[in-house]
Amino acid sequence: MNTKIPLTVLSCALGAVFAQADWTVVSTFDDASALDLVTDVANIEGSEARSEIIDGKWALFPGLLFETNSNLYGMLDLGTDLRAASIGVGGAVTFYVEVTQPIVSDGAGGTRKSIVDVTWGLSNEQPDNVLTTRYDSYNAMQRILITTDNFEGRNGGSYVTIEAFQADVSYKIWFVVDFNLNFYETYIQGGQWTERTKLDAGDMSGIWFFRFNPGETSVVNHMLVALSRGNSVQGEKSLDPVYFDNVAVDVTGENLTAPDFGGGSGNTWAGYAVSPEGWVNTGAWLGLIYVNEAPFVYSADLETYIYLPEDLVGDAGAWSYIYK
């Protein structure tokens, strides 16, 4: 039902509201220049394991099969030390990334979801040392396991199974990471998760502990992706590429909004993710608001409508007319 609110009534109260939008975009991988931020480290020379930019995404390929394990470690320079930022604010900072298992050719004239054995997350290691530290390079860490195709999260010394990704769906993932206490919380949206959802660590706490705790002098300034090809003796693992896209960080604290990468995706309002029902969670700014009747948005906290055109919302906030 459409509700019409007269402007003359709305103008009876004027309020100032301020948005918190502190995302720093690391890369949208729009063209090959994005690979300037990526360092590929392969454990076998000539394996052809590599990074490419495909359809505006960072695509990692597992390369050729050998008698010994062939691995690719792709390291994306985030441009900032998340550990130092977390220590500086005395709490959490936020890392955002989008992950896709694309649809690929099955080699017989049809298609299938890509088959991958891949881990991703934050790392305090540098490219010149990652072949030594390997998977102990990770702090916050997630993966897709080849034997089950399940998406899993790392909680301290073990993995927690969540469920499989759908094919060719871009999953939005938030890591809220506290390097003071060495743990993270993580949220996901996409596919079967129609709204942003906090992932359970297996004990109902929502707290995930690092695989490896960085030291006092460690610099956490890389996203690490590890892709395993397996070997011809014990069996193949990754056969196909996996895609990553739209990486951003907020070094000021927890941020569960959707970063604004431009391009008019149609599922955001002023940079915030919009649920299929039309609700937006703006966090500490306005709380839950309903935007399907924009520029009139309904505030669940205020229990009233606000006249708030999206194009008036900026980093410094926005003026709005509040119906009373």
Place of tokens 């966090």: 283
- Judged by average pLDDT, the poorest of 125-134, 143-152, 153-162, 288-297 is 288-297
CA-based nearest residue to 186, from 95, 83, 310, 295: 95
Mean per-residue pLDDT of the chain: 88
pLDDT tens column, 263-285: 534 467 887 777 666 777 777 77
Query: What is the CATH number that goes with domain 24-250?
Result: 2.60.120.200
Place of tokens 């881990």: 119
Locate the domains of the chain by residue range: 7-20+263-322, 24-250
Distance between CA atoms of residues 107 and 48, nearest Å: 20
Single pTM value for the model: 0.76
Residue 304 to residues 69, 111, 182, 185, 268: CA-CA distances in angstroms? 60, 49, 41, 32, 21
3-state DSSP helix/strand/coil % of the chain, to nearest 5: 10, 45, 45
Distance between CA atoms of residues 91 and 104, nearest Å: 41
Q: Residue 20, class by beta-carbon neighbours within 10 Å (0-12 exposed, 13-18 middle, 19+ buried)? A: middle
Rg (C-alpha) for the chain, rounded Å, is: 22
pLDDT tens column, 90-100: 999 999 999 99
pLDDT tens column, 199-258: 999 888 899 999 999 999 999 999 999 999 999 999 999 999 999 999 999 999 999 999
pLDDT tens column, 144-200: 999 999 999 999 999 999 999 999 999 999 999 999 999 999 999 999 999 999 999
Backbone angles phi, psi at 196, to 5 degrees: -60, 130
At residue 313 the predicted structure's pLDDT band, cuts being 50, 70 and 90, is confident
Strand partners, 144: 118, 151
Q: How many CB atoms lie within 10 A of CB 265?
A: 13
Distance between CA atoms of residues 87 and 55, nearest Å: 37
